[in-house]
């Protein structure tokens, strides 16, 4: 091969390398898909820290990567501003979770609402969960305090479990509120089937990081794992609405 040809081939190779280096989105996606095929990447963008890219996963969780995709990390990124640390990761994740959760159609939830709601919470629930039942007993108090309670399904034992069947029966009942009241009171709910969102909501819960029930998502996307008394929960819900 002539020297000029070799030079041309080398130049093409260098151009390809530079093009790849100049496209962090492509490099990071390729590296992450090799690491975990099917990883649900929502978007890739520069982070507030120079040289670091933030990878937004579907559901809200965040990863960080170098421009070439050779270094990946999971954790919190803080900005030390005015002597007070600001958790940038938590803020970004909450915004993404809020967008996802608040986008669930009302027709796919079981909703207990006051006449004039001041804010809302979305609760991932399982009818077999003792603390879910305790939280449900305080729904009237939450409503009195101006908090709308929106239930989505999260059968802890997975699709096909006894809890999953109960949740399907609740979602397929003619009166979902009455069926939910029965289920949370440990009364038998008449079996029913229909086209329902229970499996999708279970998958969504896993995507946003739900590990147990009840898991409460405030209007601003902040997640509160576990039961909290109605007055305390309402206070946090109203504060979240003010910053949303």
Q: Which residues are catalytic?
A: 126, 129, 132, 156
**What is the token pair recorded at 185?**
């009171």
Please, are residues 53 and 64 in contact by the beta-carbon 8 Å criterion? yes
Query: CA-CA distance, 63 to 36, in Å (whole number)?
Result: 13
CB distance 215 to 154 below 8 Å: yes
Q: Do residues 41 and 57 lie in contact, with contact meaning Cβ atoms separated by under 8 Å?
A: yes
> Is the preceding omega at residue 145 within 30 degrees of 0, hence cis?
no
**CB–CB of 170/128 below 8 Å?**
no
């Amino acid at each position: 091969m002539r020297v000029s040809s070799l030079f041309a081939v080398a130049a093409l190779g260098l151009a390809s390398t530079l093009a790849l280096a100049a496209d962090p989105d492509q490099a990071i996606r390729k590296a992450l898909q090799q690491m975990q095929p099917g990883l649900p990447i929502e978007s890739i963008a520069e982070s507030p820290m120079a040289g670091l890219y933030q990878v937004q996963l579907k559901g809200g969780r965040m990863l960080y990567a170098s421009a070439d995709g050779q270094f990946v990390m999971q954790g919190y990124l803080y900005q030390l501003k005015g002597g007070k640390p600001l958790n940038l990761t938590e803020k970004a994740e909450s915004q993404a979770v809020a967008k996802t959760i608040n986008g669930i159609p009302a027709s796919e939830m079981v909703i207990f609402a006051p006449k004039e709601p001041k804010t809302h919470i979305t609760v991932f629930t399982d009818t077999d969960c003792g603390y879910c039942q305790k939280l449900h007993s305080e729904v009237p108090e939450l409503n009195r305090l101006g908090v709308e309670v929106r239930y989505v399904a999260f059968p802890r034992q997975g699709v096909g479990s006894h809890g999953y069947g109960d949740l399907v029966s609740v979602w397929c009942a003619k009166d979902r509120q009455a069926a939910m009241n029965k289920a949370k009171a440990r009364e038998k709910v008449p079996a029913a089937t229909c086209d329902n969102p229970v499996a999708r909501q279970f998958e969504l819960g896993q995507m946003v990081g739900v590990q147990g029930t009840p898991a409460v998502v405030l209007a601003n996307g902040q997640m509160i794992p576990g039961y909290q008394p109605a007055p305390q929960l309402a206070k946090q819900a109203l504060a979240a609405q003010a910053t949303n």
